[in-house]
Structure 1
Amino acid sequence: MNISIDHKSHIPLHIQAELLLRELIRDPAYQAGKLLPNEVDLAKKLAISRTTLRQALNKLVYEELLVRKKGYGTKVAPSKISSKSMNWLSFSQEMKARGIPVRNYELHLSWVYPDEQIANLFDIKTDKKILKLERLRGGADGAFVYFISYFHPRIGLTGEEDFKQPLYEMLETEHSVIANLSKEEISAITANKFIAGKLEVETGSPILFRKRFVYDQGDRAIEYNLGYYNAESFIYTVESRRNQ
């Protein structure tokens, strides 16, 4: 790609710089996460001031087309994945419906003793171990959500199931447990060191935090799920219709 601008053109230099940057954004290499040319080097190559170049950069950052991090550089902003509250599906099913291939970057299973909150939700004692599932998930461009799930022992999970497949389909086909109702609590938090490491963000970065309580057809709790979403890659949309 020819990285240059026409100094004889009547089009202002910052506009030409902006148009050039928009072309760079469409380049597959930069779409894949490659950093844009260094600001100082690019300004020299274009024979414009850093102030002029920064004017163009700031506009694209404002439009959320570029992400700029101090000491790191500038790159194309990842496309944000949107989740809607209507037509509730599992994460895998929802991403499949949107044509987004899901990738498991990590998957861990363990048997743990529930704390009092989980024990009360499941109406069990704290001395009975339950299955805990941890998954770091995302798309081809990287992970953007870390899930922690706890399951009621009533389901009969052994830990030998294939948790790479859609969760609620597996529960229904293998254990005759139908997830029928989801109640959710959504809040904004800052990433602690553990979550920041999982999502590859800085400690203290904004994170979308979602608690999900899942019930079967008899309104019995079957899963308690915690989701930590990278706020730069994911938005949560609530869609409501007013009754006439």
Structure 2
Amino acid sequence: MNLQIDHKSPIPLHVQAEMLLREMIKDPAYINGKLLPNEVELAKRLAISRTTLRLAINKLVFEELLVRKKGIGTKVVTAKFSSKSKNWLSFSQEMKNRGMEVKNFELHVSWVVPEAPIANFFGIKDGQKVLKIERLRGKPDDPFVYFISYFHPRVGLTGEEDFKRPLYEILEQDYHVVADLSQEEIDAKAANKFIADKLEITPGDPILSRKRFVFDRSGRPIEYNLGFYRAESFTYSVESRRDY
């Protein structure tokens, strides 16, 4: 396969690399378990830095198209079935569509060194701090969701913004960062004491836990979001269209 990056193209290098990788892993040899070339070799062939290449690989690892094994290498993940919703909305949009007024009961803003899964998602170096925003939200008399959001330092948020405004509105209007793609994981679990206290329920009560991974139009990660919903107060609906 001819692997070439167009260094004169307006398309970012990591996006071009991602497109090439998507084509490469369609090769039957890779589908059947052949390891991809190592990062040093592949970066050299593409005439890009390992950091740029790693952004592309991280995206495919996150999408579960590739898997890395320390000391072994990177290879294609065995295909699995999944169900995906077609559209996504911010919490403010969700509530607006339901005709509900949104109230922020708590807001906590800090700069933190993220845990490994978050740092890996963002592709940042160890020890680099990210902006963390925690919010208890709900209807005027009913707090029913606790959000914890982490933002890539690249987006430009300082923590001094007016967070009464919708977050994605702030990103788009103030920093020209457009949230384009959301990928989600949803679980039913028991509330721990911290979340139970926030949602005014008993530890062990059922909650809906949602992870949301948000990307910009270039496919770069911008937000890692955790949402914990009181079960009886929120229904998560999924609309899917059948492929023919």
Provide the TM-score with structure 2 as the length reference: 0.64
Q: Aligned-pair distance for 1:141?
A: 3.1
Q: Contact between 1:214 and 1:223, CA under 8 Å: does it hold in 2? A: yes
Alignment of 1:192-231 (within 5 A): 192-231=192-231
Check the 8 A contact 1:168/1:178 in 2, yes or no: yes
Matching residue of 2:185: 185
The residue number in structure 2 matching 1:154 is: 154
Q: Distance in 1 between matches of 2:146 and 2:140?
A: 15
**In the alignment, is the contact (CA less than 8 A) between 1:144 and 1:199 conserved in 2?**
yes
The C-alpha deviation readout for 1:24-76, integer Å capped at 9, x for no partner, is xxxxxxxxxxxxxxxxxxxxxxxxxxxxxxxxxxxxxxxxxxxxxxxxxxxxx
Match in the other structure for 1:31 = none
Q: Secondary structure at the match of 1:212?
A: strand
- Aligned residues of 2:145 and 2:227 also touching (Cα < 8 A): yes
Q: SS of 1:236's equivalent?
A: coil
AA aligned opposite 2:154: R
Q: What is the deviation of 1:116?
A: 1.2
- Per the alignment, residue 119 of structure 1 pairs with 119
Q: Would the aligned equivalents of 2:109 and 2:131 in 1 still touch at CA under 8 Å?
A: yes
State how far apart, in whole Å, the 2-side matches of 1:85 and 1:138 are: 23
Distance in 2, matches of 1:243 and 1:151, equals 34
Secondary structure class of the residue paired with 1:118 = helix
TM-score (norm 1): 0.64
The root-mean-square deviation of aligned C-alpha atoms, in Å, is: 1.4
Q: Is the 8 A contact 1:183 1:213 kept in 2?
A: yes
Distance 1:86 1:103, change over 3 A: farther
| Paired residues for 1:98-177 under 5 Å | 98-177=98-177
Distance 1:126 1:197 in 2: 32
**Match in the other structure for 1:94:** 94
Contact (CA 8 Å) 1:115, 1:126: kept in 2 or not? no
Q: Deviations over 1:82-127 (max 9, x none)?
A: xx95432211122112211000000110010011111111110121
Residue 238 of structure 1 corresponds to which residue in structure 2?
A: 238
Number of aligned positions between the proteins: 161
2:191/2:205 contact within 8 Å kept: yes
Distance 1:223 1:203 in 2: 28
Cα distance between partner residues in 1 of 2:101 and 2:85 = 20
* Contact 1:179–1:216 (8 Å) recurs in 2: yes
SS state at 1:222 partner: strand
The equivalent residue for 2:21 is none
Which residue type is aligned with residue 237 of structure 1? S
Q: Is the 8 A contact 1:152 1:221 kept in 2?
A: yes
Query: Equivalent residue of 1:161, what SS?
Result: coil
Please report how far the alpha carbon of residue 162 of structure 1 lies from its aligned counterpart in structure 2 after TM superposition.
Answer: 1.1
C-alpha distance in 2, partners of 1:232/1:133? 25
Runs of 4+ in structure 1 off by over 6 angstroms are: none
State the AA in 1 paired with 2:194.
F
Higher RCO (CA 8 Å, separation ≥ 6 residues) = 1
Identity, % of aligned positions: 68
Report the equivalent of 2:50: none
Deviation at 1:164, TM superposition (A): 1.3
Query: Which has more radius of gyration?
Result: 1
SS of 1:154's equivalent in the other structure is helix
Q: 1:108 to 1:153 in 2, by over 3 A?
A: same
- 1:108 and 1:117 mapped to 2: Cα distance? 21
- Equivalent residue of 2:171, what SS? helix
1:11 is aligned to: none
Structure 2, gaps ≥5 residues long: 1-83
